[in-house]
A and B are shown apart, each in its own frame.
Chain A
């Protein structure tokens, strides 16, 4: 059997180009394996060959999606692959979104199977689950050693032509199947089982839409009390609460009384995962305190909550983010805040 041709998509970090300071590198391709591709090669050596690796900086991809997509797709196509592997991207948000977008490109344009690896909370999974076989992996690269065999197992099943592929997270796709018994009978049996407290398996699990209805609009913003919140990590210089640069376990509450404008002396970002140079130079770029204070002075807003709240969104668990939000909201309500601006990086 001739070996299948695989193209591997990874970001600048796993290509060894660099961390955040290199997140804006443009797409490039290299023949053969790069970075984690080596481990895939070890797993797949009998059945497939990684013929090329396509690399793109996470920020570049997300900020220039149209351009990056076109280039990355051309690069992947140039290797004439049978299968494309993306990531694993763990719980890295921008990497996950880029890897998912690449899966979609390959799925829709080249009609090839894509295998990826993501932490279930990675936003890239929810967005692009339909377009590939995404294997559940841990939330950081420390779990790479587990991720590679799990993803390789799915790749092997595809190569073997298995009709039912297992070991990936549900894609949310439906397929037609024929059953012996008609739907009405199955439904009644299911209902009877349910009433009798017996076990039954639904044929159509209801999707969980974790949505919140939009709150009513503010009637007159010039009379409203506004609060500032951010997940971009804006903290007073020195990060007094030691908010973690990723997977934050807390948020900070800081007085706005004495700050009318951020400078390199009074503010910085605690956020890892993006180049902090611009935020540290002028934190107003993350939390617009200078213009909000100006708007307060000239009456564009009614009043301003005395504190800002900050945490780091990088890899932070949904459970923690929810908890922070609930606690912050309680304090805002108590102070009579009418509306909130939340900035993210």
Chain B
């Protein structure tokens, strides 16, 4: 799905937990996330901290979209 969208020329960032899978499927901008059942959260944190964690991850994704890349790049 990532590839099919990018093939139309739209930059796309893949936020996912298992980075090797993302690389295999061919995502070019990859932001690693927290865990499989909650990629963009962490139920062990209190709601305020959890939201801050999510905010940071999404900012990282936006940054990735603003960053020119020539090959598969993981934004840690």
Interface residues of A (CB under 8 A from B): 23, 59, 62-63, 93-94, 97, 123, 126-127, 210-221, 224, 226, 229, 231-232, 274-279, 281-282, 284-288, 290-292, 294-295, 300-301, 311, 313, 321-326, 328-330, 332-333, 337-345
Contact = CB atoms under 8 A, between A and B. Distances in A.
B39 A339 contact: no
Contact of A342 (B7, B13, B35, B58): B13
B65 interface: yes
Given A214-B70, A217-B65, A340-B11, A325 B37 contact: no
A215 B58 contact: no
Given A216-B68, A333-B8, A342-B14, A295 B39 contact: no
Contacts of B50: 285
Given A232-B39, A325-B7, 16 more contacts: A63-B17, A212-B26, A214-B70, A216-B11, A216-B68, A229-B5, A282-B41, A286-B38, A287-B40, A290-B51, A300-B62, A324-B1, A339-B10, A340-B5, A341-B13, A343-B33
Contacts of A63: 17, 35-36
Contacts of B5: 229, 325-326, 328-329, 332, 340, 342
Contact of B43 (A232, A278, A295, A300): A278
B37 to A, nearest CB: 5
B76 interface: no
Given A285-B41, A342-B2, A212 B54 contact: no
Given A216-B11, A295-B58, A329-B8, A231 B1 contact: yes
Q: Say what secondary structure dominates the interface of chain B.
A: mixed
Contacts of B3: 210-212, 322, 325
8 contacts: A214-B70, A282-B41, A294-B55, A295-B58, A325-B7, A340-B5, A340-B10, A343-B16
Interface string B4-31: 1111111111111110111011101100
B71 interface: yes
Given A94-B36, A218-B65, A284-B41, A291 B10 contact: no
A214 B11 CA distance: 7
B6 A215 contact: yes
B62 A210 contact: no
Contacts of A229: 1, 5
Contacts of B61: 341
Contacts of A215: 6, 9-12, 28
Nearest to B20: A127
